[in-house]
């Protein structure tokens, strides 16, 4: 099985995490679907260094560390709980830095094409579930 692009185990979470606000968080059920999704995101013009994935046992610890570094609202608390469940089931968390709601919508559409789900856009003023 090929490795996922830009995983939390490959780089420092602090250096790789997309800046806030302006990112999406979502889930995809298999590493192979994640690899295909990341390729399509890049084909759509999203830079590789704007994409961060969390998977496996190390991914859970790194994701929790990421969430502790920021002050999040109620929707992010829900996202953290869901993220823990998703990772325990062997799924992948995909976090993508975006510049606008339109970019977030593109990420959600591409994610959906690969079986991604529960994509949320964390924007400047509002958090919005996109899928």
8 within a domain of the structure (yes/no) = no
- Give the residue from 25, 97, 22 showing the smallest Cα distance to 54: 25
pTM of the model: 0.77
Q: What is the pLDDT of residue 16?
A: 47
- Give the residue from 5, 102, 91 showing the smallest Cα distance to 51: 5
Q: What is the pLDDT of residue 69?
A: 60
User: Which ranges constitute the DSSP H helices of 8-93?
Assistant: 13-16, 31-43, 56-68, 74-88
Q: What is the pLDDT of residue 11?
A: 43
77 within a domain of the structure (yes/no) = yes
23 within a domain of the structure (yes/no) = yes
3 within a domain of the structure (yes/no) = no
* Domain count for the chain: 1
Structure tokens of 77?
């608390």
Checking if the pLDDT of 1 tops 50, the result is no
Q: What is the pLDDT of residue 27?
A: 95
Cα dihedral 34, 94, 116, 105 in deg (nearest 10): -120
For the domain that residue 96 is a member of, what is the CATH number? 3.30.70.3450
Checking if the pLDDT of 8 tops 70, the result is no
Q: What is the pLDDT of residue 26?
A: 93
Q: What is the pLDDT of residues 36-95, one digit of tens each?
A: 999 999 999 999 999 999 998 788 888 877 776 655 566 667 777 888 889 989 999 999
Q: What is the pLDDT of residue 41?
A: 96
Q: What is the pLDDT of residues 101-116, one digit of tens each?
A: 889 999 999 999 999 9
| Parent domain of 68 | 13-129
Q: What is the pLDDT of residues 11-43, one digit of tens each?
A: 444 344 444 458 888 999 999 999 999 999 999
7 within a domain of the structure (yes/no) = no
The answer to whether 93 touches 53, Cβ cutoff 8 Å, is: yes
64 within a domain of the structure (yes/no) = yes
Query: Cα–Cα distance between 65 and 91 in angstroms, integer?
Result: 18
Query: Cα–Cα distance between 58 and 44 in angstroms, integer?
Result: 29
């Amino acid at each position: 099985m090929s490795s996922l692009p830009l995983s939390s185990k490959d780089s420092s979470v602090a250096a790789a995490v997309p800046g806030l606000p302006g990112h999406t968080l979502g889930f995809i059920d298999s590493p192979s679907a994640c690899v295909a999704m990341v390729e399509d995101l890049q084909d759509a013009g999203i830079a590789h260094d704007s994409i961060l994935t969390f998977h496996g046992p190390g991914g859970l610890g790194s994701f929790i560390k990421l969430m502790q570094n920021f002050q999040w609202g109620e929707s992010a608390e829900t996202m953290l709980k869901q993220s823990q469940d998703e990772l325990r089931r062997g799924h992948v968390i995909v976090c993508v830095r975006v510049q606008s709601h339109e970019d977030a919508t593109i990420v959600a559409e591409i994610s959906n094409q690969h079986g991604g789900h529960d994509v949320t856009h964390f924007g400047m003023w509002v958090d919005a579930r996109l899928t």
